[in-house]
Structure 1
Amino acid sequence: MLLKRTNHPSSGKIMPSMIYMFSARALTYKRRTDICKFRCHQIMPAYSCPRAVVYRFSQRIKMFSRTGVKYAVSRRPLIVVDFDETVTVKDTISILARFSYARNLPTDIPPWSHFTTAYMKDYGRLKSVNSARQITTLEDKTEQLAALKPVELASLDRVSKAGVFARLTKQEIQAGAKEMVQVRDHAQQVLLSNIENVFILSVNWSKDWILGALKPLPFLPSSILSNDLVFDQGISTGQIIPSIVTADDKLKVFRQIQNADAWPYSIYIGDSETDLPCLVNADIGIVFGTSLINTCKQLGIELVDAKKVPSLDIKQDRHTLYHTVDWADIANLLKDTT
């Protein structure tokens, strides 16, 4: 890491209040005479930086180490992304179950259909109770989604008590996800280019399953916000910790991330009704896929075709919801945020 000082544009004097921190690769095209003969760590020993970032000494420099590398944070936005059917081609809970059943054979655990049937019965009863209710506003929809919590918790409890995901190690789960989960085209490239400021927010049941599916991206567990399995001496007990099960849970966590740091603005990417409150509460919402189109029409929420937008203009586009079925469109939208 090297330090370069630049001339003030008006006075022509060298201003010590400005520094440029470059990686060695970024400096390969610079003339040697333009570079001070000081290592960055001699001036700022706690810092390292993977790319060129400009800072004033007078500013508070915030440090992160989520990806294992400390760096000075630029004015990049918070990006929060749903996992199942947003990053992945299919919902992966059933794939996780199939993987676990294959690892646990022979077993006395009821077949997976037992749990899906029980869930659908609970869901059907709740739906019949609320069938007469008109859903015309976002508030109505949010209350309807929050009412699903007892159904979701009952499902998690059944699966936990049966030990469907018992006797698995973290390494096995991650390896299984890497092999069995299909990630959408261009999704990994977008996540990698924004790796320092991306969180995954999901109602999935295993952090390790998500981490494995996203490999080789260098996500740390702290970047994955989801339910998780309980482990005892490295082996799963089968119990699921139900921390994020409804749209309301997602929104609470999303707001916590928003308020945790001075992000310039926030972007949320999701595909389902569970993501809807986060999508409308983000500065920029990106609706992926087609499952939310009818719901948005019903609630009078306008969606802008992402293909028709060259790039984000946060001053003009704040609180806009975009729609796409292609992560290449998301890459285009976010190209000026990196």
Structure 2
Amino acid sequence: MMEMTATPSYHTNTTGVSGGNDTFYDEYGDLRRSLNIMSAVIYCLAFVLGVLGNGVVIWVTGFKMKKTVNTVWFLNLAVADFLFTAFLPLSVTYIALGFHWPFGNFMCKLNNTVRFVNMFTSVYILVVISMDRYMSVVWPVWAQNHRNVRKASYVSLGVWVLALFLSTPYFIFRDTGPSFDDEKIINCYLNFASSDEDTPAVNQLILLRFKAMTISRFLLGFVVPFSVIVSCYAVIMHRLRRNRALASHSSRPFKIIAAIIVTFFLCWAPFYIMDIIELAHFSTNFSNPVLDHVITIGVPLATGLAFVNSCLNPLLYVFMGQDFKDTFRKSILNVFETAFQEEGSPSHTDSKSVETSQTLDKSVHNTEV
């Protein structure tokens, strides 16, 4: 998400909150400070909940559960969210220091790139999950014969490669430089300028790059993925409603499907709406006080909501699965049994591992939509 100053160079902070040194928002100083504090708190909560929640998902799906196609999807989703939330302390520090970036140019580029890698990876993993469930319902025989862990791993690798490719421009254009107001303050910003010259040609190139990145992010990060997800689940719900026997056996998928669509839309739609508003606003040469106010308030709120999505994914896509809950509960129980076991006393781990494996074989089958 971008916040831009009213300067021809389009010097942007792109932290998701209004920059502490942006002259463009001086008339909203008190409001900006309050929103910056709110954003820092949200980022801290997202860091704690995201690292813990996604860490547990990685531990359980990667080391405790039987490998299935679904666990491959959930594991990759959790890894993307974990990497993103693990970098959030850098953004919190940036805000706390008055938007001074002390970590150097490379970390500025890396931090921003990880953010968009997470965004694209998460979105397209959700697309893959939707298409996988679509094929399992519409073409169950084909899916049973062709779905396997190896192919799912290859598809996941392809998603990561695609996400890295789509995120490359954010690594290239991210830069560090002194603030306009204080040269001692080093901002981490998107630098679309090809030179330091302030000429009409340079400004036109900057605006063109800004438009290209905003529109491509909107289309490839939201419109196309969301259209595929909605289309897949619309067909799935239609098929399940026609097949009453299957629908009565699969009441949980209906709730999960609704949660997936609603949460995805609520978390990401405001982010991209603000993207489009900013694009329209900064593409003009005049100031609009109403849009100024909307952007000042909307940018941090929309960005924080999008970041919270990385905490909700474990709840929506994994914790609602009975197989995950059973495995997590038994794994934690085994950890404590081992920790507090008297020396020389018999262990129950071996006997329970057989029971866990049997439970997983049965429950994993039931969670395949």
Q: Does TM-score exceed 0.5, indicating one fold?
A: no
Higher relative contact order (CA 8 A, sep 6+): 2
Give the TM-score category using the shorter length. under 0.3
Higher strand fraction (1 or 2) = 1
Higher helix fraction (1 or 2) = 2
TM-score, length of structure 2 as denominator length: 0.22
